[in-house]
Structures are given as structure tokens and as C-alpha cells.
Structure 1
Amino acid sequence: MCSVLSHCINGDNNEVSVGAPMVKTEQEALYSAIQGFMGNWWNGSDLYPDPCGWTPIQGVSCDIFDGFWYITDLSIGQIYDNSLPCAPNLEFRPQFFQLTHLKSVSFSNCIISPNQATFSIQTANWDSFSSTLESIEFRSNPGLSGPIPATFGNLKKLQSLVLIDNRLSGNLPVNIGNLTHLKRLVMSGNLFTGKIPENYGYLSELLIMDLSRNLLSGSLPLTFGGLTSLLKFDLSMNQLEGEIPCGISNLKNLTLLDLSNNKISGGMNFADQEMNSLEELILSNNPINGDLMNFNWQKVYKIMVLDLSNTGLTGMIPESISNLKNLRFLGLNDNKLSGNLSPKLAELRNLTALYVNGNNLTGDLKFSREFYQKMGRRFGAWNNFNLCFPVAKVPVSVRPFGLKLCSDS
């Protein structure tokens, strides 16, 4: 694909594409579609008489099919510094759906006012793009409300569906699970409710699933163990409950698992297979409960970020965590953990933040002065009332905050 912002060579005969003609109906459809989004003041035929050649339109890309220019990408809204702003009464005109080669469409920072009710993605004729559209993006449109159009599920070539920071609501459409070529499903920062459809677990080509910052409820579908291509999995800041399915450990390519700020419980029992790509495991602010002693830490040996803060954990902190050689951040604060803090944690060379504050840890700390100097205020151990540090080993300048001195005895 060629951007209209540069000259390019296209076509079977490597002809110079700048001089290629554009079908008149395609050009007129483009002008009318953009005018519907920008307002009647916008006169494309005067401003951009050659939109795929020497007078390119910002946010519009073209490609050549059968020797003619056609529109393939359309980006509307405040994307670039010189982008044209959307009209307060923007609309989908019928001509927009006559762009028969359109592959990608995005609306960013465009639908600002809740009063822009004339702009409805529910009633738009998305079926017209069922054989061409590969990417849809609505980003940062606080005036965009209502449910996701069920017709999105008919876009059989769709690879990327991005709906971020709008005010879309309702249940997640079940037929989104029919989009077998989908690689990116990002619908964060909306008002979606209800359960996650089980057939979302059949999206075998999916690389990113981000449904964070919504009002989703229910348990995690057991089918999620089938998302074996998944790289990033973020369901944080919802109202999800129940246990983490053991099938999650089937996701061998997963680098990020973020289920924080939900109502997930059932203990740390899901790593029954090696998750050899996992780098970030974030489960904070859930009533997970249970302990850490029986978790198979060797199954997540590449972990870099481990955040289990405020998860109701009890028991001791296993010494085996010190075998996670890539660990950079360890958050175990605000739990009910007890026992001593192993000095072997200081052997983690990559560790730059360790938070165990707000627990029931006991005994004296046995870390070196160099460890405290390295960590600074990123070592949190306060609010462990029976935990102390030996003053003789720790100069005043590097003493950990909020801890008492051990008695001489």
C-alpha cells in the first residue's frame, strides 16, 4: 500500500503511479464522505483536485487497482497537527460506503460532544465493507455512545478492532467471535457490561486482547485456553470474578497478563504448565487469597514484573522467588504475609523495586547496605510491626523508611 504523502511505484508493470487516473465516482464519493465528517464548508474538489496524486489529503491513503486510484485508508479527526477538525453535526453519508476498496478507517478525538447524536455507528451500513475492511478504530471520542453494531461481526476480513476511550456500552457482541482473522481486539475504556462471550476464546489468530477499564462481569471463559497466539491479555479494571482458568497456562506466547482490579478469587493455582514467554503478571487488587508456597514459580521463570499487591495472600514469601533472575518489580504489599524476608532477594541483580509493606513480616532484615542504596525509596517495608533492621549494619542515610530498629538483644 502507498501513502498519498509520497510518490511510489505500483502496478504490475512498475509504472509510475503518480500519473494514474482516479475513477470519477470514487473521487466524488471521497469528497462527499469527508464533507459529511468535516462539514459543508469543506470543498474537496477545489482544495484537492488530485487527492491521490499531487494534492494529497491528510489522513487519506490510496492504492492502485486495475490501473486506477482507489481509497484504501481514511483517518478522521485530530490525528495530526494539520488535521481538519470534525464537524459538530458530522454524519455518515451514503457515499462513504461506496468506497469499495476501503481497508482501514479511524476516528480519533472527533466525536467530543454527547449531543452529536446524529452520528450513529449502529445504523451505519458496515455490511458494505464486509469483503474489504481490515481495520476499524474509534479512539478518544467521549461523545460516542451506544452499543457496538452487530454488523461488525460480518466484516470477515477484519484484523484489527480498536475501540478505546469512548462511551460505548451494552454487551459485547457474540458475533465478534466469528472474526477468525482478528489479530487485535482492543475495547478498553468504555462502559461495556455483561459477560465476555465464550466464543472469544476461539479467535486463534488473536495477538492482543484488551478489554480493560469497563464494567464486565462474570467469570473468565474456560475457552481462553485456546488463545494460543496471544501476546498481551489485559482484562484489568472490570468486575470479573471466579478463578483464573488453568487453561491460561496454555498461552505459551503470552508476555503480559493483567487481571488487576477485579473480583477474582480462588488462589494462585493456574500455572500448571510452563509459561516461558510471560514477562508481566499483574493480579493486584483482587481477593485471590491463598498462599505463594505451592505456586510453580519455575513455570514463569522469565517474569520481570510481578504485582500481587492487595490480593489477600497469607503464609510465607517463598525463597524460590529469588530464582526469578529477570525480576525487576516485585509487589507483595498490603497482604497478610508472615515470616522472614529472605536475604536472597538481594541477589536479584535486575530488581529495582520491592514492596512488602502492609504485611505481618517478622524478624530483622539481613540485606546489605549496597542493597538499600540501590533500592532507595523503591524498597517498601513499612507497616510490618514486628519487622526491624539492625542499626549497626545500616547507616542513617540509607535506612529503609518506616521501620523500627532491632533491639540490641
Structure 2
Amino acid sequence: MLLYECFFLLKFVISKLPMRKSTVVQALLILPLLTFHVFSQQEGSTAPMEKTEQEALYLAIQSFVGKWWNGSELYPDPCGWTPIQGVSCDFLDGLWYITVLDIGPVLENSLECTQDAKFSPLLFKFKHLKSLCFFNCFSPHQPTTIPSSNWEKLAGSLETLVFRSNQGLIGEIPASLGQLTNLKSLVLVENSLAGMLPRELGSLVHLKRLVLTGNRFSGQIPVSLAGNLSELLILDLSRNNLSGPLPSSFGGLTSLLTLDLSNNTLEGSLPSGLGELRNLTLLDLRNNNFSGGLTHSLQSMTSIQDMLLSNNPLGGNLMEFGWENLRNLTTLDLSNTGLTGVIPDSISSLKTLRSLALDNNHLSGSVSPKLATLPSLGALYLSGNNLTGELEFSEGFYKRMGGRFTSWNNPNLCYNSEVMSTGHVPVGVERCKHEQENSVYNSSTENIVSSGSSNQNSGLLASFGFSACINGFWWVIVVQELVPLLLLILL
């Protein structure tokens, strides 16, 4: 019957296509695929599930969602015609096995945890489990910890382990997670985990993604973590309480694309090994205590797109750095980093730059009008420096930038009058004084010229050697002396 259905379906497909030889050949090639699909459907619908694993699945889920959940009645065939949301299976050696288990309100009809949810040791019975995820499952009502043992039972299969948004997940990262040698993704985000990062994480040599953001981890970053994970693509340890210097072994993370260590209390100089991260596109070290200036090795990051170093007491200047090497840079945030000196013209060579933040530093000198020529620039922040001279940006530049251009709190910075009539003037910046003086001088000259015709008598007196400022009583005396003299001349 199945073969007949496949033949009928193939005949229908051919009837809908133009009758060319190539089309017929392509249709004939579809036949084995259709046959395989139909047989696999029938096989999957009748294939059994290993009894111990099926029972473990029901009991494990019940420990998370509550005893009211009766899996054997609701989902008698969890890998077949009654699938469970968040559970996926693979067909291996004639049996179904659990390979993916997602607990938490990820999708509609997902398995949601109760306030009394706890980690079930039955999960370690899933010997083919590839992905295990818990989202918003463990609440502060009944805190729990990550199990410290039995992880070796999943070492041969587990590739993804995720605990996300579990405020009731406390304690430390167990060192035994280092036994998951096939793990490719470890994500522990926005939980209440604390303590130091175990050096055993450096044993996860196949790890591609390590994200531990939004917890309470403290202490230094293990040297093994930075030195052994050569396949790592994403490292995010942001929003913790990590301290101390960065390991010099960071240069060994040669495959790294994203490095986010922001919002910690890390300190010391930036290691020169960072320059070895030639594939890095995001470097986020904001809100730490790094010092020692911009290490020259950073200019070797030719793939970098976002360099975010704000709110660090770095110090140093911008002139000694080869900005022209960072040809892919789109965001440069160096605000509040203690920079001194001038803004180099080499920054205007960054044609892909979209955002430049240099505010709240000690920069001096003038602002190059070349910055306005950057074709992609959409934000420029220069406030809170010691910049001087005249802003020579055009009306179109101010109009395009709007509130994304700031230059206030630069006492000796001013703008020209050409943009006054447009209304697009930099906020918090005064009009250049020499233009104001010229305006006052021109206004005074016009007043003198316009009043010249009404003071002809004063001009006449001045031609006789009398001052034009004579007035009042003295004017009467002058008239009395002049009248007799004029009469004598006429007679």
C-alpha cells in the first residue's frame, strides 16, 4: 500500500511539470527519497522507547513541573505520536532516545516549573542526551544548586548545557563540569551563582561558547580558561565581580570572535596577547579598572568592529596608536578613560566608523573638520574635554547628527555664525567671540554713518577747529562770541 501511495504521489508530481526528459529524470530521483520518508514515518510511529529511559523521563519532568503531571497518561508515546513540548528524540539502533530536554516557559505549551522545582538525578540516565536547558525554572522560594557529581555519565554525548534566568540557582560551578569533554556550549546567564571560576573549565577543549554573564562570580579569571580553549568563539564573563589582571594567556584564544568582560572590577594593564586575537570582532572591557594606556598590540586586531573601553582609568593618548589599521572599526567608545593630548587626524581614515565617543576626558587642541567627512558616522561625543578653537562643521552635519553630536563643557570651543540662521547649532557651545566683536563693530559704524546727515552743524564747527561735543551752556557762550565777529567782517 505504501509503495502504491509513493507511486501515485510521484505520478502527480510528474503530471504538474513540463514533460521534458530532464524533468522526468529529476522526478525519478525523488522516488527513493519519498519511499525512505514513508518507511521512516511508519518505523518511527511504531518503534519502541527504552523502558527505563521512558520512565526516567516522566519522573524527571514531574520533579520540575509538579506531581500533578502524569506523563504516562498524557504522553504515552513521547517520541512518536504524542510528543512533549521541549523534548526531542533520535532513532538509534531500533529505539528512540532522548537527545534534547528544554525545561521552562520558552515557547507556548512549554513545560513550566513549579516553585518547588529541584534538579533530578534521573537526568543522568539519558545516555544520548545532547542538549539540556533550564529557563526560569528554579526560584528563590526553594534555592537549589547544580549537582556536583554524575556529570561523567553524560560526558560522551552532552554538547549544550544552559541555565538561564534561574534566581534560585545558587552555589558554585562544580568542578565536575570539566568532565563534559564533548561540551560545545556552556551558558550560565542571570542566575545567583557565586564563587570562583573553577580551573577545570579549561578542560572543555571543544567549547565554542562560554557565557557566564549576570551572576556573582568573584576572584581572578583562571589561566587555564584563557590558555586551553583554542576553539572558543564567544567568551562572555560580563556583569560579575571578577577581579585581578587579565591572564597573559588570552592570546591563545585565537578563534575568538567576541570577548565581553564588561562590568567587573578587573584591573592592571591590557596584556599584549590581546593583539593575537586577529579574528575578534567585539572587544568590550567597559566599567572596569584597567590602566596603562592603549597597548599597541590592539592595532593588530584587523577584524575588530566594536572596541568598547569606556569607564576605565586607562590614561595615555591617541596619537601613538595606528588607528588606520582598524579598517573594519564601526564603534569606538573611549569615554571617561583619562585620555590626554589631541584627536589625531588618523581617526578620520576609519571609513566604516559609525560611532565615536571621546567624551569626559582631558583631550585638547582643535577638532578636525575631517571627522565630518566620515561617510558612516552617525554619533560623535566630544563633551567634557579641553578642546579649543572653532567647530568648522557644516549645517548639514549638525542637522544629520542631531542629539548624537555633543560638545558641551569645552569652555574654549565655539562655533561659526554660518549655521546660526538654520537653528542647527551645537548645544552648550558659544558663538565664536571674534565674530561677535566684528558684529558689534559693524553695528557701531552703521550708526555713525546714519547719524552723519543730522549733525552737519557739528561738522561745520569742527571744521573751524571747535569740538563737536560742545553743548549746553558752552554752546550759548560760543554763539555770543561769534555774532559780533561776523558783523565786523560783513561791515
TM-score per shorter chain, which class? over 0.9
Identical residues among aligned pairs (%): 55
Aligned pair partner of 1:106 in 121, 133, 138: 133
Q: Which sits farther off after the overlay, 38-47 or 272-281?
A: 272-281
Helix, strand or coil at the partner of 1:75: strand
User: For residues 251-262 of structure 1, what are the structure 2 equivalents within 5 Å?
Assistant: 251-262=277-288
Aligned pair partner of 2:169 in 110, 119, 144: 144
Contact 2:118/2:138 (8 A) holds in 1: no
Helix, strand or coil at the partner of 1:63: strand
Partner letter of residue 221 of structure 1?
P
Aligned pair partner of 1:328 in 351, 354, 361: 354
Helix, strand or coil at the partner of 2:79: coil
Q: Which residue of 1 aligns with 2:91?
A: 64
Contact 2:130/2:160 (8 A) holds in 1: yes
Helix, strand or coil at the partner of 1:161: strand
Contact 2:261/2:286 (8 A) holds in 1: yes
Q: Distance in 2 between matches of 1:380 and 1:275?
A: 29
Q: For residues 68 and 405 of structure 1, do their structure 2 counterparts lie closer, same or farther at Cα, with a shift above 3 Å needed?
A: same
Helix, strand or coil at the partner of 1:398: coil
Q: Which residue of 2 aligns with 1:172?
A: 197
Q: Which residue of 2 aligns with 1:339?
A: 365
Helix, strand or coil at the partner of 1:289: coil
User: For residues 213-362 of structure 1, what are the structure 2 equivalents within 5 Å?
Assistant: 213-271=239-297, 274-362=300-388
Q: Distance in 2 between matches of 1:388 and 1:275?
A: 36
Q: For residues 351 and 272 of structure 1, do their structure 2 counterparts lie closer, same or farther at Cα, with a shift above 3 Å needed?
A: closer
Q: Which residue of 2 aligns with 1:82?
A: 109
- How big is the alpha-carbon RMSD for the aligned residues of Structure 1 and Structure 2? 1.9
Shift in Å, 1:112? 2.2
Q: Which fold has the larger relative contact order, with Cα–Cα distance below 8 Å and residues 6 or more apart in sequence?
A: 1
Which has the larger share of helix?
2
Helix, strand or coil at the partner of 1:230: coil
Deviation string, structure 1 residues 248-303 (Cα, Å, up to 9, x no partner): 11111100000000000000124365322100000000000000000111221210
Q: Which residue of 1 aligns with 2:389?
A: 363
1:190 aligns with 2:209: no
Q: Distance in 1 between matches of 2:187 and 2:53?
A: 26
Shift in Å, 1:9? 9.9
State the TM-score, normalizing by the size of structure 2: 0.79
Q: For residues 270 and 58 of structure 1, do their structure 2 counterparts lie closer, same or farther at Cα, with a shift above 3 Å needed?
A: farther
Partner letter of residue 95 of structure 1?
L
Partner letter of residue 178 of structure 2?
G
1:91 aligns with 2:118: yes
1:49 aligns with 2:76: yes
Contact 1:248/1:270 (8 A) holds in 2: no
How many residues align? The count is 400
Helix, strand or coil at the partner of 2:164: strand
Q: Distance in 2 between matches of 1:306 and 1:229?
A: 22
Q: Distance in 1 between matches of 2:282 and 2:210?
A: 15
Q: Distance in 2 between matches of 1:394 and 1:198?
A: 58
Q: Distance in 1 between matches of 2:404 and 2:151?
A: 50
Aligned pair partner of 1:131 in 136, 145, 156: 156
Q: Distance in 2 between matches of 1:79 and 1:112?
A: 16
Contact 2:419/2:425 (8 A) holds in 1: no
Deviation string, structure 1 residues 51-95 (Cα, Å, up to 9, x no partner): 111111111111111121100010111111322321222223332
1:36 aligns with 2:36: no
Q: Which residue of 2 aligns with 1:212?
A: 238
Which has the larger share of strand?
1
Contact 1:11/1:64 (8 A) holds in 2: no
Q: For residues 186 and 399 of structure 1, do their structure 2 counterparts lie closer, same or farther at Cα, with a shift above 3 Å needed?
A: same
Shift in Å, 1:10? 12
Q: Which residue of 2 aligns with 1:4?
A: none
Q: Which residue of 2 aligns with 1:20?
A: 47
Q: Which residue of 1 aligns with 2:461?
A: none
Aligned pair partner of 2:423 in 394, 397, 404: 397
Q: Which sits farther off after the overlay, 203-212 or 53-62?
A: 53-62
Q: Which residue of 2 aligns with 1:156?
A: 181
- Structure 2: where are the runs of 5+ without partners? 1-32, 438-491
Contact 2:181/2:206 (8 A) holds in 1: yes
Contact 2:381/2:405 (8 A) holds in 1: yes
Shift in Å, 1:48? 0.6
Q: Looking at CA atoms only, which structure, 1 or 2, has the larger radius of gyration?
A: 2
Q: Distance in 2 between matches of 1:195 and 1:272?
A: 22
Shift in Å, 1:131? 1.4
Partner letter of residue 57 of structure 2?
L
Shift in Å, 1:219? 0.4
Contact 2:239/2:263 (8 A) holds in 1: yes
Q: For residues 94 and 267 of structure 1, do their structure 2 counterparts lie closer, same or farther at Cα, with a shift above 3 Å needed?
A: closer
Helix, strand or coil at the partner of 2:191: strand
Helix, strand or coil at the partner of 2:347: helix
- Structure 1: where are the runs of 5+ without partners? 1-7
Contact 1:11/1:67 (8 A) holds in 2: no
Partner letter of residue 319 of structure 2?
M
Q: Distance in 1 between matches of 2:263 and 2:217?
A: 12
